Amino acid sequence: MLRIANLEAGYGSLRVIKGVSLHVSPGEVVAIIGPNGAGKTTLLATIAGLIKPWTGEICLQGRRIEQAPPEQIVALGCSLVPEGRQLFASLTVKENLLLGGYVRRRDQTKGDTEQALDGIYRLFGVLRERERQLAATLSGGEQQMLAIGRALMARPRLIMMDEPSLGIAPRLVRTIFKTIMDLRDAGTTILLIEQNARSALRIADRGYVLETGQIVCEGSARELLDNRDVQRAYLGKDYRTIDE
């Protein structure tokens, strides 16, 4: 699905991603964990085409995309749910969702769009109730659902989520993680960044630990949960109770 080799990226002269290689196979949930400032968000932004990499390769379903513009990457089947949701606050819930499907406007009939909307509403009932409400008036958790829904409108094969549990009431975090599992069961491939390493590794198949722009550990989710470095750094003091 996604294959990255020796990726370097950054801002100005600041090198943030220092030679990262990773892959995501079809149907997998892969988690990237790491401390603040390790480069996790930069990594996703680079894959999404929002930042141009300095060197390295990014292949999406066998196609090189490191020079492709963001909209083309979305059209190729890779959507990003950005950190902090980045919704259009002054638009309604429905308008936000429709914008998510914008790249598919040419090959979709009105019926297709309705069907996609309906799928999102089935996933998140609350969005149907608030269809005409402005995005700004939603709670944090509802906004996160909207952001995920918006990304799904492009019918991605790979969905990348940047801290989906950030700033959300604990009760809703459980819903978000449940949604991620539903998406996986429906066959969507997921690349997930999470501060909540324990919850992320519980639902992930595999994971990578990113520290100061480099991968220092990789393995199955179980291996990472059993790794003492990971336990100390990410499951210990930073560990916040979600569902225990």
Partner 1 sequence: MTTGEKCETLGRGDLEQLQMERLQSTLNRVFRNVAFYRHSFDAHRVNIERIKSTQALRELPFTTREDLGKSYPYEMFAVPLREIVRIHAASGTTGTPIVIGYTRNDLRNWTEYTARLLAAAGITANDVVQIAFPYNLSAVAFGFHQGAEQIGASVIPSPATLSSERQVTIMKDFKTTALICTPTYALRLAATLEELRVHPERLQLRTGIFGGEPWGDAFRAQLEARLPILAHDTYGLSDVLGPGVAGECSERKGLHVNEDHFIIEVIDPRTLAPVPAGEPGELVFTTITREGFPIIRYRTGDVASVTAAPCPCGRTFVRMSRVLSRLDNRIFFDGASIFPSQIEAILTEVEGSLPQYEIILDCDDRKDTMEIKVEVSGNMPALDEVRKLEHLRQRLARRVETTLDVQARITFVEPKSLRTQPQGNVVDRRLEPRK
Question: What residues make contact with partner 1 under the rule CB under 8 A?
Answer: 3, 5-6, 18-19, 21-23, 25, 208-209, 211, 214-220, 223, 226-229
105 vs 222, beta carbon nearer partner 1? 222
In angstroms, how far is the first alpha carbon of the chain from the final one?
33
Least CB distance to partner 1 at residue 10 (A): 14
Minimum separation from the CB atom of position 190 to partner 1 (A): 18
Residue type, 238: D
Q: What is the dihedral of CA 40, 41, 45, 51, to 10 degrees?
A: -90
CB of 3 to partner 1, least distance (A): 6
Nearest to partner 1 of 56, 119 (CB atom): 56
In this structure, the number of other CB atoms found within 10 A of the CB of residue 91 comes to 15
Structure-token match 């009431």, residue found: 169
CB nearer to partner 1: pick between 175 and 227 = 227
Nearest to 20 by CA among 49, 37, 44: 44
Name the one residue in this structure whose structure tokens are 């094969």.
Answer: 157
Query: Which is closer to partner 1, CB of 42 or CB of 144?
Result: 42
| DSSP H helical ranges for the chain | 40-47, 70-75, 93-100, 110-123, 125-129, 140-152, 170-185, 197-203, 221-226, 228-230
Whole-number minimum distance, CB 231 to partner 1, in Å? 9
Residues 6+ apart with CB under 8 A from 129: none
The residue (of 139 and 220) whose beta carbon lies closer to partner 1 is 220
Least separation in angstroms between CB 53 and partner 1: 14
Which lies closer to partner 1 via its Cβ, residue 123 or residue 216? 216
Give the shortest CB-188-to-partner 1 separation in angstroms: 20
Closer of 6 and 86 to partner 1 (Cβ)? 6
The least distance separating partner 1 from the CB of residue 6, rounded to whole angstroms, comes to 4
Alpha-carbon distance of 169 to 155, in angstroms, equals: 27
Q: Give the number of other CB atoms < 10 A from CB of residue 186.
A: 10
Distance of CA 157 to the CA centre of its chain: 12
